[in-house]
């Protein structure tokens, strides 16, 4: 029997999972997403990626600022079987979660109970974890603490960045949601409680974290560069201008932290160094280091601290 589903998501990450559900014989009643945002100082209103994709599919879209009683009553009247949440960006209120005969599940981008919270992919990369994964869990009032139905692992290499890993995890989530739907349809769901003693939290990325501290180890800096690529981006200042690093590699060489060591824009860290491969000057397009050096002079021995 086909399930009646409400989908809640916002970023690009959510799209493959919505697409996967849409291509089944189940019915997506409505999509909830974050309200449109103003871009360029209010000149243009931008819908979320999920909003735009849902419009293409012809699915009704709602974007309430809050889940007040009126909105909760609306959801209750839809009589859905399942609410699937994927990077929605809002915490569902207890009153909503208490609606009868609706299963609320979340597609979370980590191997719970590790990295609960807002930035699990970024934190996994920054922490130099060797693996992460996707968890399908039941939503409870406590953040990402609900029992887990399905998990699947994925490796984290030293070279992979946020955009690349997010894409792989999104596709993995799209496969796992199909397994989840079959279990729900066949009434074979078996949720397993998380081990609270192993819980860690992936707090929201703060602006202060995006600036490079050359007194860190090169490996740690490289992990941060990858974790914040392409957005918000990891940056440093060169002659008073902000430079965002898009791609870099670790070089085994010594030098005073923050010192430009050679003409390839290799910068010393506390341990080893970072050689910048691709970067973006503030207000400009991204470019390779070779392209940058053709029009910009650097001084070997210059300190960036």
CATH architecture of 207-295: Roll (3.10)
Look over the chain and give the mean of its residue pLDDT values, rounded to a whole number. Answer: 96
Q: Is 80 exceeded by the pLDDT of residue 42?
A: no
pLDDT at 130: 97
Convert the pLDDT of each residue in 144-172 to its tens digit.
Answer: 999 999 999 999 999 999 999 999 999 99
- Residue among 235, 242, 262, 236 at smallest CA distance from 251: 262
Q: Is 90 exceeded by the pLDDT of residue 106?
A: yes
In the chain, which segments carry CATH 3.40.50.170?
A: 4-198
Rounded to an integer, what distance in angstroms lies between the CA atom of residue 72 and that of residue 34?
Answer: 16
What's the rounded mean pLDDT across residues 252-277?
97
pTM, whole model, 2 decimals? 0.94
Kindly indicate the confidence band of residue 254, based on its pLDDT and cuts at 50, 70 and 90. very high
In the chain, which segments carry CATH 3.10.25.10?
A: 207-295
Rounded to an integer, what distance in angstroms lies between the CA atom of residue 209 and that of residue 224?
Answer: 9
The listed CATH number (1.10.1060.10, 3.40.50.1100, 3.40.1080.10, 3.40.50.170) that belongs to domain 4-198: 3.40.50.170
């Amino acid at each position: 029997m086909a399930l009646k589903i409400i989908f809640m998501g916002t970023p690009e990450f959510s799209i493959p999972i919505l697409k996967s559900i849409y291509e089944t014989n189940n019915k997506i009643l409505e999509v909830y997403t974050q309200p449109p945002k103003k871009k360029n100082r209010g000149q243009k209103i931008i819908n979320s990626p999920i909003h735009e994709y849902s419009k293409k599919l012809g699915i009704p879209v709602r974007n309430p600022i809050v889940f007040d009683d009126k909105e909760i009553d609306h959801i209750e009247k839809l009589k859905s079987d399942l609410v699937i949440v994927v990077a929605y960006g809002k915490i569902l209120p207890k009153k909503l979660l208490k609606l009868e005969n609706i299963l609320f599940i979340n597609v979370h981008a980590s191997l719970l109970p590790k990295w609960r919270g807002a930035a699990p992919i970024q934190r996994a990369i920054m922490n130099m974890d060797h693996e992460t994964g996707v968890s399908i869990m039941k939503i409870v009032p406590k953040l990402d603490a609900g029992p887990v139905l399905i998990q699947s692992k994925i490796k984290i290499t030293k070279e992979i960045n946020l955009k690349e890993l997010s894409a792989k995890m999104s596709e993995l989530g799209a496969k796992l949601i199909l397994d989840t739907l079959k279990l729900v349809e066949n009434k074979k769901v078996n949720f397993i409680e998380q081990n609270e003693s192993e819980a860690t939290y992936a707090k929201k990325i703060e602006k202060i974290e995006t600036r490079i501290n050359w007194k860190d180890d090169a490996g740690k800096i490289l992990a941060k560069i990858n974790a914040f690529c392409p957005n918000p981006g990891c940056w440093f200042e060169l002659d008073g201008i902000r430079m965002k690093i898009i791609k870099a590699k670790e070089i085994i060489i010594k030098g005073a932290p923050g010192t430009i060591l050679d003409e390839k824009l290799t910068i010393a860290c506390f341990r080893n160094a970072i050689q910048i491969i691709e970067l973006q000057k503030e207000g400009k397009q991204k470019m390779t280091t070779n392209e940058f050096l053709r029009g910009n002079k650097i001084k070997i021995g210059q300190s960036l601290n």
